[in-house]
Each structure stands twice: as C-alpha cells, then as structure tokens.
Chains A and B, each alone.
Chain A
Amino acid sequence: MFRQFHLKDIILLAIIGIVFGVIYLATGLLYNGLTIILTPFGYGPMANDITLGIWCMAGPLAAFMLRLPGASFLGEFLSAIVEMLLGDQWGVTTLLSGLVQGIGTELGFTLTLYKMYNWITLLLSATTTTILTFSWDWFRNGYSHFPLSMLIVMLIVRWLSMFFFTGILVKLIINLLNRSHVLTR
C-alpha cells in the first residue's frame, strides 16, 4: 500500500532537521528575549507557547514532502535527535519533547488516513500538536501550577502559533516547492 522509507528519505529527513535546527538557533534569542519581556507581567512561560510552532515545522513539512505514514513523526523526532546532539537548551528531554511533538504532528495526518494533503490536514495537525504538547507541558514545565485564566490564554496563543508556523508558513514553503516541481521523487 505505502512504500517504505529508503536511505535517501532518511538522510533527507535528517538534513531537513539540521537545516531547521540551524535556522532555529536564531530564535533562541527570540525565546529568551520574550521571556525577559513577559516575566514582569507574570507571563514569562508564555514565550514557550508563542514560539513553539517554530519547533514543530519540520514534521508537517516532511509529511507533505514524502507523503508517507510516519514521515511527520520521523521528521520531527530526527530533528529533535539532531538538536540534542548539537547541544541544545533542554538536553535529553529534547528527545521526549520531540517524541510528543512527533506524535502530535503525525496524528493530524493519521486522522485523514494519509489521503488528504491540504488546509484541513494542516489545521488538524496544528490542533493535535497543540493538545499533545500542552498536556506534556502540564507536567514538564509546571503548567499545572499556573492560574486557570492564564492557562486558557496560553492554550489559545499556542494554537495560534501552531497555526501560523506549522500551517501558514509550511503551506507557503510547500507552494514554492510544488511550483518548482522538485517533489515528484
């Protein structure tokens, strides 16, 4: 039914992970800057929700490029492995986050049975990723200790971030790739 992952696909996914990792390095500054600005208002951890969409772009992009079950998960998880090996902020837990984000982005594509690759899929993927990563942060980043009103704001902000980066930006990149006919591998 579906073809398997070959060496070429795996290398491509890993390189995409690295490319995104290299470009993300610039956003580390953004994350820390936002945290400093938001902390006096009691919303410091929201920097995480604002920027999270950026880290989840590799997954949906890989799914659109390879159109295989597991592509989104692998794209996201491999980029987490690469990030850990490059020595990123969160150390070993990057792997756990990558696992959660990978399953989150993958679920959106699973729900459409890997048959649809359009806006609906991107919206679904953004939503499943938001739900899964928020549940993970409930434990890891201590969200369970935050006031309810703040949690609601953070959940909405996170979904918007997901929609902007893993939805709009990914779709724009895919459009460029489609127009150049490089995806008929």
Chain B
Amino acid sequence: MNPSIKLLLLLLISLEISFTNRLFVNLILIICLFIVLIFNKLTWHQFCWLMLIPLIPGIAVLITIGGYGAGHDWLTGWSMVSRFYVYVFAGGVMTFTTSPLTLVRSLEQNCHLPSKFAYGTLAALNILPQIKRNVSTIKVAGKMRGLDLHWWSPTLYFKAILSAIRWSDQLAQAMETHGFREERPRTYATLIPLRWVDWAILIISMVVLQILLIALP
C-alpha cells in the first residue's frame, strides 16, 4: 500500500476514535490491525512490545475513571484502555511495515513535500547512531570531571546542541557538494506508485468505520 495513504488512513482512524468512545469498534480495529501485522511477519518480540507499552497508562486511566470518576463508569474506562491499544497497534502497522526512506520518498513524490524537508529530515535520521553515541560521550566526559549530567542539566543540552550545529553545517555542505539544490526539479531513482487501489482501501475503510461507529454500541 502507498505509504502516504497508509499514514493518512491510520491518522484518520486515530483521530476519529479520539473523539468517539466505542469499546467494540476499538476491539474490531485492534483485531484488524493485528491481522495486518501478522501478514507483515510480526515477531514475538514486537508483539510483546506492543502489548506492554499501553499497559501502565491504560491501567492508570481505567482505575481513575472506573474507581474515582463520577458514576464509576468502568465501561468508559475499558474503552479508554482499548483506545490506547488501537493507537499503539496503528503505530506498529506504520513503523514495522514502512521504512523511513520509503515514507519520505512517498511524501515527496505523492504529497509534494519540498525536497529540502524530505532529505533534510532523512539526513538527520541517518546519523542517529552517532547522536546516541555523542550524548553518552558527553555524559562520560562529564563524569570524568566529577560532573553528573542528568536529563535536566542545561549543560547536557548545551553540549548536544553544539554538536547538532556542527553536524547540520557539515551535512548540508556534504549534500550540496553531492549536487543537492533546494527548489530545483528532481528526478527519482525509485518511483512510489499511487494506485487507485490505495484510494479504494482508504475510502472503503473509512466508510466501514463510520458504519461500525453508528451500528455498534
């Protein structure tokens, strides 16, 4: 499926269930998203991760609404829990089945996102391992001088931002050296097709969701 359309569909579903609160609709959505994930080779590790993430906030909301809220509305509590699972499963469908590169290519070609935003973000994302290493280097360097740099220390952010400024200069220079120009027409090495099937899936899914929201309690 086209990555941009997939993202749009998942966003629309997430947005719509944020404003409606139907336990059964949420459960059906979770099952559908789960089936999609299974067809995309979901591993046990990923499955456990998806089940664990919403557990703590879910229980907190359940107890707050059911135990302390006006009317002790347990049904609303459970539908909130199921809503969190829909969010996380929708996120899983996006991140487990689409690589950032494909998504960015699709956003550039199909949604006409300016190439400087598409490739700028991608360039930054690609040096992620280096950024992680840099943050821990800053922490270790601080410890050597007897300084504990926690996540609330301005110095930690300051030093990380200094590196960020240097990297952004270097990456932009490197990209321009390789012929990247802002606002110039580009050709594409890999084409991301946008077929009528993608639109059909989007429209049919949304229509079915509306019917379910009206029909089910």
Contacts and interface: CB of A to CB of B under 8 A. Distances in A.
Nearest to A82: B125
Interface stretch (A4-12, A101-109, A124-132): A4-12
A19 B64 contact: no
Interface stretch (B23-31, B36-44, B175-183): B175-183
- Binding site secondary structure of chain A: helix
Interface residues of A, number: 67
B215 to A, nearest CB: 22
Q: Give chain B's interface residue range (CB within 8 Å of chain A).
A: 35 or more
A15 B67 contact: no
A145 interface: yes
B73 A92 contact: no
B64 A146 contact: yes
B121 A14 contact: yes
Given A15-B131, A93-B14, 8 more contacts: A7-B120, A7-B172, A12-B168, A16-B161, A18-B131, A84-B91, A142-B65, A169-B157
Interface of A: 5-12, 14-20, 22-24, 26-27, 32, 35-36, 38-39, 42-45, 47-48, 54, 61, 65, 78, 81-82, 84-96, 139-142, 145-147, 150, 169, 172-173, 175-177, 180, 182, 185
A5 to B, nearest CB: 7
B196 interface: no
